[in-house]
Structure 1
């Protein structure tokens, strides 16, 4: 009777948590938030001529796996150009991950670990957020989980058929997710070491063949979206590579660590993972449970501990070689495995404290999950969950109230989102003033101000505003400068975006107001 009651209660919690995970992701998707800068940069490859095709580099210096791009291209062709179409595959990947993490954790580590891993993942902030983001990060999680599930299936009864299935999954996986290579490396190393210890040389040979095939598939997938063979973009690619190296410098592991500062980098990076991409406000408690889970699994299931931890170590090695940043969203593929280990740590504490210190266990779980649960449901309650840079609302206001001769100044970092949405409005190219990169020099910044003042009425559009190297908020500084010679007539504010209407008395006879300036500068 007790077993039947437990089974019924357990199934209730599983179904409830599955429903919660799906509900939170679908609510985010249905909120239809506007694309922010990074999303728009990728989306323009599918909606702005010339659209992307295989064996061509992506516009706007974007990087994404070729399989993900092909699916996005198909979705836009099938469903039409819209945020819903672009986010459909990330949603599918996010929802699938909810079911996959339970299947994996339950199969490998048992019912309680499966239930707790499902509960944590269902309300995980970044797992929910990326389930409706026009980026490949949701796919990264799903692919990692699929590879683990296939590996678990193969390890149940290792034979030629299951080895071939695992190999095929890896071939497809690296086309859908770049960090799938780290997951496959962890799987290959873990199973390979076990096979060597057991002197199963045929398994070692098979894994060697799989590794070569996976690397070949990954290399071909990179080639399909690279600038190799495209002389016109070679210089731009080199410049972008340099800019990327500079931007991500702090995320590359110092190796070998030669100073106390280098050592602190590893300590800080370890705890940062529990905030982003894992989404815990209490990083210390999450880290403690993670380490507890490692100790628990070391004696219970060392092979699977290795399979879950090794991808993190391989990614860290790639970071030390300056091949892959060890930071935030780029580590989203580690979320499922890390959550499973944390769930194992929670289960260990439950076993130790259930009889004598049960309130302590409930308190620890409450502290760990209070912020994720509250954040997940409070975001779902918003009209637009996870609203970030709503430039669409700003442009709707401008389109409603602008006059025929009004000009529109587009702040440099708002350019990609503006280009994505401009087709929805009657904004003439001749009326657009494209802002230059204000960060490059103060002369360019002052040039933008002078160009704006050459017109009678100008709408200013801002989003993704940051401070420059001098610590100056560019939007505030620009508005402050324009207030000296112009009159602000209208203001529209939205989440992460804003618009302003100014009126000037321009001197069109001045040298700064020549014909090139009047048509704007793209």
Structure 2
């Protein structure tokens, strides 16, 4: 369309200025830039290593290459094998300074922004993509761990990559190959792999025997691969100190239903309040409600994804009840680190919940004005 024709069209339809596709995309790119700059600023600030970071750095660089497998790290430290190998290699090539140590988490934090946007584009229109990016970029925990010498930002990236592969309909074989890489960089990723694996079963439920026949060998191969990784690297690092530490901080959920409800309100939710925009506990309760509504929204588009997420949550909680994996604890911003890997899912569901709620309000009589605006927006976006 010629420029003069566009200007004439905008003059006759002024509302289009506020609902044009280009404007939404421009705003999204603006928040992406803000996210990159904020993470770069934290990374370049280059604070001295705090105690836990220093212990991890010393234990990695004091462990000879030949003693990495089958032996726990020193000072009650644990980190995924891939993170250890790359960090150790970077240190030997470029030195052991703070910027070298934190380079991998920083790169993961930047990549995470773009992977998460790719996820939102599969489920949401540009205006709701913008909402999701606003929440995601504003996460205090993601910004903090962008320059923390720990693997938690990488775990969040791994979760986002798995989620994107599933939503885009990657074959189960490709998903398993991707999962084989993920378990090298993320402890929590195995829960999401199992959950989304159940989602694949749900997706192919109409022809389940055929699906099992063509993928059973790949699933068994991945199981053997993960078992070797677990028994030769992960299990030796699970020293008693970890269970005692997280148990003392109420990092494991109680089995008693009444105590569990109290634990959720007093321990778990306050610990992850920084997942929500602003880090306010009241805002978190709102985001929890929006997350539940978002599950309903996603169920209309991808029921297999909802089935996978439900299985993921069930397996994740089961591991907590069995005291195999610690949960977040109300310990300032540091308390949410073990749960950081599922923040992309939390924000995605919350953004979908906002979209669902908006649609319901737009259709009601009380939301008549919003209905008009939504209609104008939809007309413009689909031109």
TM-score band, normalised by shorter chain: 0.7 to 0.9
Q: Quick check: 1:222 aligned with 2:230?
A: yes
Q: How does 1:395-434 map to 2 (within 5 A)?
A: none
Counterpart in the other structure of 1:62: 77
Counterpart in the other structure of 1:304: 305
Q: Secondary structure in 2 aligned to 1:184?
A: helix
Q: Quick check: 1:185 aligned with 2:194?
A: yes
Q: Secondary structure in 2 aligned to 1:222?
A: helix
Q: Distance in 1 between matches of 2:259 and 2:98?
A: 43
Q: Secondary structure in 1 aligned to 2:207?
A: coil
Distance 1:277 1:284, change over 3 A: closer
Q: Distance in 2 between matches of 1:309 and 1:115?
A: 26
The two structures have a TM-score, normalised by structure 1, of: 0.60
Distance 1:309 1:22, change over 3 A: farther
Which structure has more helix as a fraction of its residues? 2
Q: Secondary structure in 1 aligned to 2:220?
A: helix
Counterpart in the other structure of 1:6: 20
User: How many residues are treated as equivalent by the alignment?
Assistant: 342
- Match for 2:163 among 148, 151, 168? 148
Counterpart in the other structure of 2:88: 73
Q: Quick check: 1:344 aligned with 2:352?
A: yes
Q: Distance in 1 between matches of 2:368 and 2:65?
A: 59
CA RMSD in angstroms comes to 2.9
Check whether the contact 2:115–2:160 (CA below 8 A) recurs between aligned residues: yes
Residue 208 (structure 1) shift? 4.2
Q: Which has the higher contact order (CA 8 A, sep 6+)?
A: 2
Residue 93 (structure 1) shift? 0.6
Q: How does 1:61-460 map to 2 (within 5 A)?
A: 61-155=76-170, 162-196=171-205, 198-225=206-233, 240-241=239-240, 243-249=241-247, 250-255=250-255, 257=256, 260-268=258-266, 271-272=269-270, 274-278=272-276, 280-281=279-280, 282-327=283-328, 328-353=336-361, 356=366
Q: Distance in 2 between matches of 1:210 and 1:116?
A: 38
Gaps of 5+ in 1: 156-161, 229-236, 361-522
Residue 145 (structure 1) shift? 1.0
Q: Secondary structure in 2 aligned to 1:58?
A: coil
Gaps of 5+ in 2: 1-8, 11-15, 329-335, 371-383
**Residues 125-146 of structure 1: CA distance to partner in whole angstroms, max 9, x if unpaired?**
0011111111110110111111
Q: Quick check: 1:31 aligned with 2:45?
A: yes
Counterpart in the other structure of 1:390: none
Q: Secondary structure in 1 aligned to 2:142?
A: helix
Check whether the contact 1:296–1:345 (CA below 8 A) recurs between aligned residues: yes
Which structure has more strand as a fraction of its residues? 1
Q: Distance in 2 between matches of 1:269 and 1:217?
A: 35
